[in-house]
Amino acid sequence: MESQLREQAIQIRNESKEKGQQATQAYNEDRKDQAHQLSVASKDLKAQADALDRQAAMQIFNEHNPTSNPNEIDLHGLYVHEATDFLANVRWPEARIIVGKGNHSKDGVAVVKPAVLQFCQEHNLRAEVDPQNSGVIIVYGMDRLPPIQGISRPPAQRPQQPPPQGYTPQQYGGNAQSPYVGQPAKQEESCCTCCCVM
C-alpha cells in the first residue's frame, strides 16, 4: 500500500515541478496572471504529494513498530527527513534507533544512518553504533532534548511502553502515555518565488 502512495506522490510531485517551470516561464514572458495560476496549481500539487508521503511514512512507521521493545524505534523504509522528524520527537533517556545498513538503499549506501548520526551531533547527543549490530544506533540523553519546531508528530497508534524510571516528559510537552512531542509543521508563506513572494 505504501509503495503505491510513494509512486503517486512521485508522479504528482513531477506534475508540480512541471507547473512550477511553466509558471516561471509565463512570469518571464510577462504573463503574470497565468504565472500566478500555474504557481498556485504547482503548490496545490506539491501539498497533495506531501500528504501522500506523510500517509506512506505513517504506514511504514506503524508497520515497522507494531510492538517495539521499550526505548526502541525502527526507522527502516523512511525518507531521511521523515526519519529525523520521528527521531526528533523521541524523549527517552536511552533509545535504540534501528536505521538499517543501507542494503535497500540506492547503491547499497546507507542514508538514514548518517542522517541520524548528524542529527545527534547537531543536538549534542551522545550516540554510538551498536557493537553487535551496525544497523542500530544507541542514543543517550534524548529526554533532555528541548522541543524542536516544525516537526510533525509521530502516529498516535504506535503501542506505548511505560516510560523509563525518572522520565518526566511533561518538561518537553509530552505526557506519561507518549514519549513524543512536537509542533505542527510550519506552513509555507508563499506559493512560488516568481510572482507571489510575500
Provide mean pLDDT across the span 14-42.
95
Q: What is the pTM of this model?
A: 0.67
Digit-coded pLDDT (tens) for 57-93:
988 888 888 765 778 999 988 999 999 888 888 888 9
Backbone φ and ψ for 86, nearest 5 degrees, come out as -65, -45
Digit-coded pLDDT (tens) for 128-165:
999 999 899 999 998 888 777 554 444 333 334 443 44
Instruction: Please tell me the predicted confidence (pLDDT) of residue 107.
Output: 74
Query: Is the pLDDT confidence value at 104 over 80?
Result: no
Pairing relationship of beta strands 94-98 and 72-74 according to DSSP bridges = parallel
Beta-strand runs (E) in the chain? 72-74, 94-98, 126-129, 136-140
Digit-coded pLDDT (tens) for 32-50:
999 999 999 999 999 999 9
